[in-house]
Amino acid sequence: MNTGSILILPGDGIGPEVMAEVRRIIDWYGDKRGLSFEVSEDLVGGAAYDVHGKPLADETMEKAQGVDAVLLGAVGGPKYDDLDFSVKPERGLLRLRKEMDLFANLRPAQCFDALADFSSLKREVVAGLDIMIVRELTSGVYFGEPRGIFEENGERVGINTQRYTESEIARVARSAFELARKRGNKVCSMEKANVMESGILWREVVQKVHDAEYPDVELSHMYADAGGMQLTRWPKQFDVIVTDNLFGDLLSDVAAMLTGSLGMLPSASLGAPMENGRPKALYEPVHGSAPDITGQGKANPIACILSFAMALRYSFDQGGEADRLEAAVEKVLADGLRTADLLGEDGVQPVSTSEMGTAILAALDASL
């Protein structure tokens, strides 16, 4: 049975290294679990620029629009730093997000027990943490007009505009409520309704969508600054947090870092449902191309592997198999395996990228 289609875009730097481990895991699911994915691979970022003179070829964009899930490694690197802004590697990623209209950015903050001491917070505050931040990604102050630097009364003034329509708020609220139903059934919406009109509208629309369509989900509202404090004080009070583009940018970074290394953090960006009912979707680790460790076998593949676990859950409706993969990651960490980014001071020898991949495959085998 064809489980669905995946476009793999490894990108630059450590992108291809971590993605190689994901490919082995995709193959494992084909061999051992009967999930047969139709997998294709293409170029993005600097790798695409080297071949096509732009960071995302039109044919690649077209392919991305036609698959169930895009898996991306990372883009960028010093080799491309001096390129014109319009062809920088990051533009390839931005084009994907924009043209696929990926308005809901999902950033989980999950603390694996074995790494609880890695957090800057106390073990009891973070152990067992499992929250999801849903950030609106295609509107708000990063896109609103007017914007720019203007002359006014003999001095310059910098302007950005926070702007949200009701439909933009409603669709990201729906994403959050849908997710909550598959998790702890709780949503906390964060804005600044005390000082911003866009925040007042945000709160009203989220409440309206809740009352009309998701009355079974527990909804609360919090000012985003208080939300930041609560996230570091007692993060386990939250299940799903939904917030706008700017606050989500900040709060998701804060929440993610509660759990330790950049090499552990997955993400998903979802758009509207396609004809087959699956959302447009892009899955990628939060980290970049890590030029300082590229080609040395030091990259932690777990962020990319957990991004594939999110694809199993949100694009392919394989929640049980996503749990299996997350449990395999948890098992190798509990067994003490660490890539170099996860090392403490206790003299543990690091494993390489592919050794970590092999150990996760062995844990998957053991789960059968």
Q: Give whichever of 82 and 345 is closer to ligand NAD, judged by the CB atom.
A: 82
Active-site annotation holder among 239, 244, 249, 341: 249
Question: Which lies closer to ligand NAD via its Cβ, residue 94 or residue 159?
Answer: 94
Task: Tell which residue, 173, 168, 109, has the closest CA to residue 142.
Answer: 168
* SS3 (DSSP) at 301: coil
Please identify which of the residues 54, 101, 130, 142 carries the catalytic annotation: 142
Q: How far is the CB of 61 from ligand NAD (least distance, A)?
A: 17
Query: Is 225 part of the annotated catalytic residue set?
Result: yes
Residue 14 or 224 having the CB closest to ligand NAD: 14
Query: Smallest gap, in angstroms, from Cβ of residue 88 to ligand NAD?
Result: 8
Which 8-state DSSP code applies to residue 101? T
Going by C-alpha positions, the residue among 71, 2, 65, 63 that lies closest to residue 38 is: 2
Q: How far is the CB of 28 from ligand NAD (least distance, A)?
A: 20
Is the C-alpha dihedral spanning 278, 280, 283, 287 positive or negative? negative
Q: 229 near 282, Cβ under 8 Å?
A: no
Concerning whether 323 is annotated as a catalytic residue, the answer is: no
Nearest CA to 300 among 17, 8, 12, 75? Answer: 17
Give 135's Cβ-side CA count (13 Å radius). Answer: 26
Told to judge if 142 belongs to the known catalytic residues of this protein, a careful annotator would answer yes
Catalytically annotated residue among 192, 280, 298, 331: 192
Cα–Cα distance, 95 to 103 (Å, whole number): 13
Measured CA angle at 342 (ends 337, 345), to 5 deg: 95
CB of 11 to ligand NAD, least distance (A): 6
Q: Is 80 a catalytic residue?
A: no
CB of 87 to ligand NAD, least distance (A): 14
User: Shortest Cβ distance from residue 342 to ligand NAD (Å)?
Assistant: 8
The token pair that represents 234 in the structure block: 């007692």
Q: How far is the CB of 261 from ligand NAD (least distance, A)?
A: 7
Angle between helices 353-366 and 302-314 (to 10 degrees): 40
Specify the residue, 3 or 307, whose C-beta has the smaller distance to ligand NAD. Answer: 307
Task: Given the residues 63, 208, 223, 253, select the one marked as catalytic.
Answer: 253
Check: CB of residue 231 under 8 Å from CB of residue 238.
yes
Please report, in angstroms and rounded to a whole number, the separation of the first and last CA atoms in the chain.
20
Would you tell me how many other CB atoms lie within 10 Å of the CB of residue 362? 14
> Burial, 225: exposed, middle or buried (Cβ in 10 Å; 0-12, 13-18, 19+)?
middle
Instruction: Burial-class residue 194 by CB neighbours within 10 Å (0-12, 13-18, 19+).
Output: exposed
Would residue 214 show up in a list of annotated catalytic residues for this protein?
no
* Residues that bind ligand NAD in the complex, under the rule CB under 6 A: 14, 18, 74-77, 90, 93, 262-263, 284, 287-293, 299-300, 303, 341
Beta carbon nearer to ligand NAD, 303 or 337: 303
Looking at beta carbons only, is 128 or 336 nearer to ligand NAD? Answer: 336
Residues with a known catalytic role: 142, 192, 225, 249, 253
